[in-house]
Structure 1
Amino acid sequence: MPANGAPIFAPWDDPAAKPLIRFENVTKRFGDFTAIDNLTLDIYEREFFALLGPSGCGKTTMMRMLAGFETPTEGKIYVGGQDMGPIAPNQRPVNMMFQSYALFPHLSVYENIAFGLRRDGKPKDEIHHRVEEMLRMVRLQKFAKRKPHQISGGQRQRVALARSLAKEPKLLLLDEPLGALDAKLREDTQFELMDIQENTGTTFVIVTHDQEEAMTVASRIAVMDEGKVMQVSTPDRIYEFPDNAYVADFIGDVNLIEGRSSAAIDETVQIEWAEGQQAITAQTSRAITAGQKVFYAIRPEKVTISPDRPADAVNAAQGKILDIAYLGNLSTYHVQLPTGQVIKSQMANTRRISRRPYTWEDEVWVSWTKTGGSVLEG
């Protein structure tokens, strides 16, 4: 339970919870190309779910199938327990917000939001009440009479969101919704999206290639590659406990070391990884066998840099600082070992740059704990 006593939102851990969306053995082919390969996935009500992956991994195809713009070659998609196969796109309890926002340039902000409600033949009073409610929610009351070209990109994004939510869909699909915004505005809008999603209770499914965006907004993330889901989990587990080398490498910055492992004894393995370097001692719950090829993934912030070898270091290697990436609040040190292997170590810049403790060509030690990284099967 959180400190305020509210229950933790984790329906995916509840065996009795029924998913709002179910992809069941879904395959989608375009000619000889398989865009989605036998995919099974559950998404729960009130989730902010992210489909994350590089261009061409199948995430947009998944969303288009959910919206009804594409039909699965094999398998079924259910929303609220209903097979969506025979349901036309405009009859689904789903709305979609496109990257381009697709606002009507000749209509005011108010009329853009009201458009879907008018098309459904809602009474005038009900339309007015709902549009006013949406304008308040996205904080655009003062801009109701303006046309899209008279407001900023961030405001247009909020108009598109309000229009998408006006009909109270069970499910809102967002296709790279923040891609056109600059970095600062994108960050602010991410938190606005989270607040709106929580306040409305609508299930959001967002397609993005931006790892930071997915990590910020999502309750869970599906990391995709070549039509397959490589891992589905909460952002913290995706980052700290990746299932495989692909996920470890795709999410954030990582040191990915290839080696051969000893057999696991009491959940501890030794990984031989470079000539002249001591074996890495690591903890793992995986059933690793002797001589097995493995990848060891450790995040740069878990690697400590020091002028001398720490007396209590379980894992340590000596090298020379090859490069320094200064990121304002952080610096990443690229330490090259005698073997040529580069290990990245990240440190918070608690001092001004003129007082930085290490610089190029310095001889240093990098070290990390037994539990600092993940052992992944090769």
Structure 2
Amino acid sequence: METLVSTQPVSDFAPWNNPGEVPLVHFDGVTKKFGDFTAIENLSLNIYEREFFALLGPSGCGKTTMMRMLAGFEHPTKGNILLGQGNLQEAPPHKRPVNMMFQSYALFPHMNVEQNIGFGLKQDKTPKAEIKRRVEEMLSLVQLEPFAKRKPHQLSGGQKQRVALARSLAKKPKLLLLDEPLGALDRKLREQTQFELMNIQEQLGLTFVIVTHDQEEAMTVASRIAVMDHGKIVQVATPAEIYEYPNSRYSADFLGDVNIIEGRTDISTGETASLYWSDEEAPLTVSTSLRLPAQTTAWLAVRPEKLRISKDKPPTSDNCIQGKVWDIGYTGNISTYHVKVSNGSILKAQVSNQERLADRPITWEDTVFVHWDKGAGVFLET
């Protein structure tokens, strides 16, 4: 499956690289236990103003617990959560400048669209004229003016999602929490809505934190991603940094499709290293700054789109392995070739389908060569 990286225009927005920048949200050594079970373990993390930050990981990794602590529905067993300079734990949920959009949308079925959007403002005893102004502003923002008088059952899934978003934004929170907000939408609508969310977040200049297990969603919308596993953060970086330079096999394998080749190292020079992965094959050459002792177990992570595949052996290549086409996955714009090599492992190489299927030059059972440059992969020691 193709992995999408956010197409947001490149800018200088990178407050996490500025040591003097004060984070909007700061998790300081936070641990959360439920009885004997540790959901979050000694976690520290900074989230900055105007970020679209993603918490990404499988079910049970702790990402929803982090969000519920931000919302005030759970409290840390140990450590502190700061919003700006204040301790967030001292404020009850309804007093926090934080709002949460639930996966189920949680719309009131007996209220129409504008009543749902204005509900929180009414609860805060906001003047009627201000409620009316803010509701109209939110209806315009999410392009739902023609549907203001409709009830939730008269709306499509995408329209309900927009109502829930507008209601969450109406109180102008400093921090908006999104709990898998697009999970109920079909793929095409979900992709469209991802870009709408990005545009709204940029337009309002708010900080969004999204919880998701969908890697494509996280890579599309987020300025940074925290990859989580068993209550710990494995890596925090921009989508492109995690995709191109994962810091572990877990990050590499969780974000996008990847070939992970295990082997033993030769003494590295600090620029390149050799990975002995098969007794029958030449070692692989990898560009790396890691200096590992000889005979250390290490791994090469290389994305399928970085691999080239051909029937003829290339005249020059840093790495070249012969194998047989075991299977082919066709997804329209891309074909993924599964190539079985001499030690029995399978390598995946992706090719853009510039020709029609009937003209495919490589097919099942063909003997092929998979080859790539030494800088195409990442050398990993964990």
Matched-pair contact (CA < 8 Å) for 2:269–2:291: no
- Indicate which of 158, 176, 184 corresponds to 2:162: 158
- Indicate which of 70, 73, 78 corresponds to 1:69: 73
* Residue equivalent to 1:232: 236
In the superposition, the TM-score normalised over structure 2's length comes to 0.97
Query: What code does the residue aligned with 1:38 have?
Result: N
Query: What code does the residue aligned with 2:167 have?
Result: R
CA distance in 1 between partners of 2:288 and 2:33 (Å): 38
Query: What code does the residue aligned with 1:311 have?
Result: P
* Residue equivalent to 1:323: 327
CA distance in 1 between partners of 2:53 and 2:131 (Å): 29
Q: Give the 3-state SS of the residue equivalent to 1:274 in structure 2.
A: coil
The answer to whether structure 1 residue 366 and structure 2 residue 365 are counterparts is no
* Residue equivalent to 1:209: 213
CA distance in 2 between partners of 1:281 and 1:324 (Å): 27
* Residue equivalent to 1:22: 26
Computed over aligned residues only, the root mean square deviation of the Cα atoms, in angstroms, reads 1.0
CA distance in 2 between partners of 1:368 and 1:246 (Å): 22
The answer to whether structure 1 residue 197 and structure 2 residue 205 are counterparts is no
CA distance in 1 between partners of 2:263 and 2:37 (Å): 34
Query: What code does the residue aligned with 2:16 have?
Result: W
CA distance in 1 between partners of 2:271 and 2:29 (Å): 34
- Indicate which of 115, 119, 124 corresponds to 1:120: 124
Q: Give the 3-state SS of the residue equivalent to 2:89 in structure 1.
A: coil
Q: Which runs of 5+ in 1 are unaligned?
A: none
CA distance in 2 between partners of 1:7 and 1:72 (Å): 35
In the comparison of the two structures, how many residue pairs are matched? 374
CA distance in 1 between partners of 2:10 and 2:122 (Å): 39
The answer to whether structure 1 residue 249 and structure 2 residue 247 are counterparts is no
Q: CA deviation at 1:140?
A: 0.1
CA distance in 2 between partners of 1:104 and 1:342 (Å): 51
- Indicate which of 39, 42, 48 corresponds to 1:44: 48
Q: CA deviation at 1:263?
A: 2.0
Q: Give the 3-state SS of the residue equivalent to 1:96 in structure 2.
A: strand
- Indicate which of 353, 358, 366 corresponds to 1:354: 358
Query: What code does the residue aligned with 2:113 have?
Result: V
Q: Give the 3-state SS of the residue equivalent to 1:223 in structure 2.
A: strand
- Indicate which of 287, 304, 310 corresponds to 2:314: 310
Q: Which runs of 5+ in 2 are unaligned?
A: 1-8
CA distance in 1 between partners of 2:147 and 2:11 (Å): 38
- Indicate which of 90, 95, 103 corresponds to 2:94: 90
CA distance in 2 between partners of 1:147 and 1:253 (Å): 42
The answer to whether structure 1 residue 134 and structure 2 residue 122 are counterparts is no
* Residue equivalent to 2:297: 293
CA distance in 1 between partners of 2:90 and 2:323 (Å): 62
CA distance in 1 between partners of 2:177 and 2:222 (Å): 13
Q: CA deviation at 1:7?
A: 4.7
The answer to whether structure 1 residue 78 and structure 2 residue 82 are counterparts is yes
Q: CA deviation at 1:338?
A: 2.1
Matched-pair contact (CA < 8 Å) for 2:270–2:291: no
CA distance in 2 between partners of 1:148 and 1:155 (Å): 9
Deviates more, 1:307-316 or 1:43-52: 307-316
Query: What code does the residue aligned with 1:280 have?
Result: L
Q: CA deviation at 1:339?
A: 1.6
Q: Describe how 1:166-205 pairs up with structure 2 within 5 A.
A: 166-205=170-209
In the superposition, the TM-score normalised over structure 1's length comes to 0.98
CA distance in 2 between partners of 1:361 and 1:237 (Å): 36
Matched-pair contact (CA < 8 Å) for 2:270–2:290: no
CA distance in 1 between partners of 2:293 and 2:142 (Å): 55
CA distance in 2 between partners of 1:337 and 1:202 (Å): 50
CA distance in 2 between partners of 1:204 and 1:101 (Å): 16
Q: CA deviation at 1:108?
A: 0.4
CA distance in 2 between partners of 1:94 and 1:360 (Å): 55
* Residue equivalent to 2:345: 341
Query: What code does the residue aligned with 2:138 have?
Result: M
CA distance in 2 between partners of 1:38 and 1:342 (Å): 38
CA distance in 1 between partners of 2:33 and 2:273 (Å): 42
CA deviations on 1:195-246 (whole Å, 9 max, x unpaired) are 0000011100000000000000000000000000000000001100000000
CA distance in 2 between partners of 1:126 and 1:211 (Å): 39
Deviates more, 1:318-327 or 1:116-125: 116-125
CA distance in 2 between partners of 1:208 and 1:336 (Å): 33
CA distance in 2 between partners of 1:279 and 1:131 (Å): 64
**Closer/same/farther in 2, CA of residues 6 and 328 from structure 1, 3 Å limit:** closer
CA distance in 2 between partners of 1:283 and 1:97 (Å): 44
Q: CA deviation at 1:309?
A: 1.5
CA distance in 1 between partners of 2:292 and 2:86 (Å): 42
Q: Give the 3-state SS of the residue equivalent to 1:85 in structure 2.
A: helix
CA distance in 1 between partners of 2:196 and 2:291 (Å): 43
